[in-house]
Amino acid sequence: MFSQILEVTLPVFGIALVGYLYGRLNGSDMDSANRINMNLFVPALLFYVLSEKIPDSPEWQSVAWGAAIIVLGSGILAWPLAHLLKFQSRVLLPPMMFNNSGNLGLPLAALAFGNEMLPFAVVAFVVSTSLHFSLGIWLVSGRLDPMQLLKNPVFLSTLTGIAAHITDWHTPALLLPGLEMLSQVAIPLMLVALGVRLIHVDISHWKAGLAGAILCPATGIISAVAAILLLQPSEEMRKILLLFSILPPAVMNFLLAERFHRSSNEVASMVAFGNLASLAIIPFALVFIL
């Protein structure tokens, strides 16, 4: 069991460590790389998996509904805690709801359950991302511009990928290798970017960081248990939902908090502490999931 967990976690955290060391040696400027990843490589990955890899099975629907329940349930559980811990709801709720299902979730799912299960992890990522760029932006900013959503490459690639799956349209064989190559860049680059981001851990906001490290997986796992009891998914889908539920806050939470001036330093600490804590939380949780 230990060697299996090591095989899952070592490549993921090893690549993040490479990113951390790179950031220490060369600086933390990843803006261009992150922009290219979010505008090109991640959309290519989403479209490729949604259009070519989602199996003709109703099981993906249980993952979609389960991921939605986990996201929304985490917000509901975190809302009274925000008042109790004296955080603004618009500051605490998004990091608790929207986790690192891209940078960590996808590679962990692929390594833990095999590439044949990756499409189901992508479904959870798509649900989380879609809610993040709609409900999440509304929570942080207090408003939502539908036109901005329609201009977002991640959202558009999700819609077109789902449409291709529903209509049974496939990328022409001549173009498919290129699409697959683009999609393969996304996950390693996500992990490198995550490692670079960790050089900015700010201990002056340790209370916010500790809240993020504890509450995000705690509210997630409670919501996941509720989703599993409600939906009664297969054993494989339960594992996907449990893995999805324990992931730390997504880096995108910090980017949105910074953009809309919502205590970005506190949110950055929640993201950084949460991802550092995942070094211990994820291997421990995998003992029960695998």
Give the pLDDT of residue 180: 92
Residues 6+ apart with CB under 8 A from 251: 100, 103, 193, 194, 197, 271
In whole angstroms, what is the distance from residue 241 CA to residue 103 CA?
16
The topology (CATH level 3) of 2-289 is: Na+/H+ antiporter like fold (1.20.1530)
What burial class does residue 3 get, using C-beta atoms within 10 Å of its C-beta: 0-12 exposed, 13-18 middle, 19+ buried? exposed
Which single residue is written with the structure tokens 């999440």? 136
Domain boundaries, the chain: 2-289
pLDDT of residue 216: 94
What's the pLDDT tens digit per position in 196-253? 877 877 677 888 889 889 999 999 999 999 999 999 999 999 999 999 999 999 877 8
| 62 vs 57: CA distance, rounded Å | 10
Q: What is the DSSP string of 108-132?
A: HHHHHH-GGGHHHHHHHHHHHHHHI
Q: Answer for the pair 14, 125: CB distance below 8 angstroms, yes or no.
A: no
pLDDT-flagged residues of the chain (< 70): 1-2, 4-5, 8, 202
Residue 4's pLDDT is what?
65
